[in-house]
Amino acid sequence: MSSIYEKYNLKQVINASGRMTALGVSTPRPEVVEAVTTGMNHYFEMKDLVNKTGEYIARLLDVEAATVVSCASAGIAQSVAAVLVKDNQWLIENLHAAPLENNEIVLPKGHNVNFGAPVGTMVNLGGGKVVEAGYANECSADQLAAAISPRTAAILYIKSHHSVQKSMLSVEQAVVVARKHNLPLIVDAAAEEDLQCYYRAGADLVIYSGAKAIEGPTSGLVIGKEQYVEWVKLQTGGIGRAMKVGKEGILGLTCAIEHYLTAEKETGEQMVQKMTPFIDSLNTLDGVSARVVWDAAGRDIARSEIKFDEAAIGISTGELVSALKQGEYAIYFRGYKANEGIIEADVRSVSPQQLDIIYRCIKANISKEQQA
């Protein structure tokens, strides 16, 4: 029997970009795959499954309440809708048909990012209207508070490497502002690794991707204060119907969380050890310099920063990145700084053998250009 790659004429991918949606995010452990298979092959009373797994996850995380959703983006949309309409059944069913006066969602301007889709699109889907606080490179607690009006329904905080990091207030400071103005605080922590700290800091709803750090199936997790989570669950009768999560996703993520909390995680130092031979090899190439860098958002993640002297290698970084996707393997990097001649390799989903393939492909592409 042919492989999936042969059957559908797909290219094999080496994922040095991290747990990105564009590449399928992550590869769950066997126990999670088994839980997904079990879910697919059995029937459940879905409301009971949602409630019981939510209660189980809440106990695991020591939070008031939890529920599984289809993805983190759905979590944002449903959380916004939840704080806007609460348990009003007519509004749940007629969210976009009804004019909502108090539908403003305040977030720092530097958090209004595109993570593959705009944050504002998810807010709008939930019936909200984005109001930016502060500036692209700065938002203090006072600037956040200044954006609040009688029409404000909630504060949204995006904890992500996509967001501006410098001169931004912390989650803890956002909590103080939210409490002072009697507003709920929603934290999107999609790729974050700590499943408890933002809730413990005082956020009312916290949203995670089930497929990123947790390494579950495509899914999302919403935790928080019980009343708010219950309102999120009610959205299954509204916009949540179009983004419902299946039984396999619910059971797969619940299993993934259980293992995530007890499994030994790869540390940043272990990542450094894995990438050191790769970096040493890259530094032998003319026009290439590589070094270890750490995650800009403060997570314990080490990456290889690769800098190209474009005049010496004879090709722009953007063209090289594109060429590396066109070979025998589609090799993907973190290319946020490609315009500066810099890319990063995230080694969490890459084996030492694959790092050697990446090195050889970079070397081959550079050599071809230098000989041209």
DSSP secondary structure letters along 77-98: HHHHHHHHHTT-HHHHHTTTTS
Q: What is the pLDDT of residue 242?
A: 95
> How far from each other are the two terminal CA atoms of the chain, in whole angstroms?
41
Mean pLDDT of the chain: 92
Are the beta carbons of 213 and 20 closer than 8 angstroms?
no
**Confidence label for 236 from pLDDT (cuts 50, 70 and 90):** very high
Confidence (pLDDT) at 129: 96
What is the reported pLDDT for 102? 92
pTM for this model (two decimals)? 0.87
Token pair listed for 220:
């999302």
Would you state the pLDDT for residue 1?
34
Which pLDDT value is given to residue 28? 85
Average pLDDT over residues 309-330: 88
Tell me how far CA of residue 372 lies from CA of 288, 314, 315, 362, 368, in angstroms.
18, 9, 11, 16, 6
Range picked from 59-63, 260-264, 340-344 for highest mean pLDDT: 59-63
CA dihedral 233, 170, 164, 269 (to 10 degrees): -90
What are the structural domains of the chain? 4-22+266-371 (3.90.1150.180), 30-262 (3.40.640.10)
Q: What are the angstrom distances between the C-alpha of 35 and each of 15, 67, 146, 349? A: 25, 17, 47, 22
Cα distances (angstroms) measured from residue 31 to each of 27, 28, 53, 131, 319:
12, 8, 17, 43, 40
The alpha carbon of 46 is separated from its chain's Cα centroid by a whole number of angstroms, namely: 26
Confidence of residue 328 (pLDDT cuts 50, 70, 90): confident
Banded model confidence at residue 46, pLDDT cuts 50, 70, 90: very high
Largest Cα span, the chain = 69
**How would residue 301 be classed by pLDDT, with cut points 50, 70 and 90?**
confident
pLDDT at residue 22 greater than cutoff 80: no
Q: How far is residue 69's CA from residue 61's CA, in Å, rounded to a whole number?
A: 17
76-80, 173-177, 178-182, 301-305: least confidently modelled range = 301-305
Res 20 pLDDT > 80: no
Alpha carbon distance 186, 198 (integer Å): 10
